[in-house]
């Protein structure tokens, strides 16, 4: 943001400095967050009549407020070129990728580097399309055709599904050249959904703030197509789980569907292959996207995902036990992802097969006598 000069109007006399700035600047496109404003004030970047003031300063009519925003921190500090993942598709608005198991999505306590976001930064995913060159806010651009997906993935334009009026209003006909404001959302730029660390598969990440808002709206209205495949211990029939979802009452690491209050969670499960009474290969379609949702629903059904260290345990059956030990993670993979493209308004759909460790476990189950 550029330096800003404000003059306090009569109706704002007596208002605290921080509250006046929050109410005035929040209406600006790309305006600062309250956290940013507090930091600018604390660092002397906000002056009233030429003097740096505290956040609690009461304003008088006619006072001149100079705001000197801090430059956003350098994104290179978070970049990590050692993070590996496969790009399935990318254009100016989004990147669709195949996240490997073992990769945390964004920095958090205990994971400050080595995450997917660190890898995205290293690849320049959030940089302007033409470097630092500024362009008009809504330039006329030709929409690129969908690229051919990379190895092991399938991507298509999926029919004539139309965006809702709300989503249509947010469609980005052309993208500004500016990158994400990393000072506003430094730890998770462009992230609109997550996969658990040890769940593999498809994710979409926004490359531009307006594309991010468009995708967030689709997730909020449950219009995103998401299908996972999993290997479960026991026999699983076709079933729809429609439950509450919340923290486990005694184990705060876990979630549960057996709670009295919580958010609604809906998972549609259909069996793909049965391995006698011992195991089932299933497809799970999400309507909602709660933390650990599929893992919780299958575990509370007494058919936990093979290898799940939180919601399951090592099976007694020798072959299943061997497969779980070899996996070293839950056998859960995000296979299908479909959404309305933020720039074109067209429905797109991607599909990627499970990785080698999952395929090996599946082959082991198929070889059971």
Active-site residue set = 196
| Residue 101 Cα to chain centre, angstroms | 16
What long-range pairs does 322-327 form, CB within 8 A, spacing at least 24? 322/364, 323/231, 323/360, 323/361, 323/364, 323/365, 324/361, 326/357, 326/360, 326/361, 326/364, 327/357, 327/358, 327/361
Nearest alpha carbon to residue 5 among 59, 54, 34, 47? 47
List the structure tokens of 324.
Answer: 């779980």
Give the whole-angstrom CA distance, residue 365 versus residue 348: 33
Judged by phi (left if over 0) then psi (alpha if -120 to 50, else beta), residue 62 lies in left
**Kind plus residue range of the DSSP H or E element containing 17:** helix 17-25
For 266, phi then psi, to 5°, come to -130, 125
Angle of CA points 148, 192, 305, to nearest 5°: 85
């Amino acid at each position: 943001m550029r330096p800003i000069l404000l003059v306090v109007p009569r109706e704002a006399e007596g208002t605290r400095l921080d509250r006046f700035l929050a109410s005035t600047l929040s209406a600006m496109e790309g305006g600062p967050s309250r956290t940013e404003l507090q930091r600018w004030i604390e660092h002397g970047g906000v002056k009233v009549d030429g003097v740096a003031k505290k956040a609690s300063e009461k304003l008088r009519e006619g006072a001149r407020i100079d705001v000197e925003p801090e430059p956003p921190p350098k994104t290179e500090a978070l970049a990590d070129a050692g993070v590996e993942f496969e790009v399935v598709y990318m254009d100016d608005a989004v990147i669709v990728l195949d996240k490997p198991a073992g990769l945390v999505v964004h920095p958090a306590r205990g994971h400050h580097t080595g995450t997917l976001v660190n890898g995205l930064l290293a690849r320049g995913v959030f940089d302007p399309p033409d470097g630092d060159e500024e362009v008009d806010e809504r330039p006329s651009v030709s929409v690129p055709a969908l690229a051919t997906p990379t190895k092991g993935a399938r991507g298509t334009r999926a029919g004539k599904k139309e965006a809702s009026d709300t989503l249509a209003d947010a469609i980005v006909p052309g993208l500004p050249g500016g990158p994400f404001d990393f000072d506003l959302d430094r730890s998770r730029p462009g992230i609109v959904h997550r996969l658990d660390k040890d769940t593999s598969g498809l994710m979409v990440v926004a490359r531009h703030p307006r594309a991010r808002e468009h995708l967030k709206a689709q997730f909020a209205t449950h219009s995103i197509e998401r299908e996972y495949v999993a290997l479960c211990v026991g026999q699983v029939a076709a079933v729809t789980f429609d439950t509450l979802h919340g923290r486990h009452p005694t184990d705060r690491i876990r979630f549960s569907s057996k709670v009295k209050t919580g958010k609604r969670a809906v998972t549609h499960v259909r069996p793909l292959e049965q391995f006698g009474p011992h195991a089932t290969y299933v497809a799970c379609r999400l309507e909602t996207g709660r933390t650990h949702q599929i893992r919780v629903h299958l575990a509370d059904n007494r058919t936990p995902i093979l290898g799940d260290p939180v919601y399951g345990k090592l099976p007694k059956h020798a072959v299943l036990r061997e497969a779980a030990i070899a996996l070293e993670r839950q056998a859960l993979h995000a296979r299908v992802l479909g959404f309305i493209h933020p720039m074109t308004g067209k429905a797109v759909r991607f599909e990627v097969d499970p990785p080698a460790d999952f395929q090996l476990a599946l082959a082991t189950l198929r070889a059971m006598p």
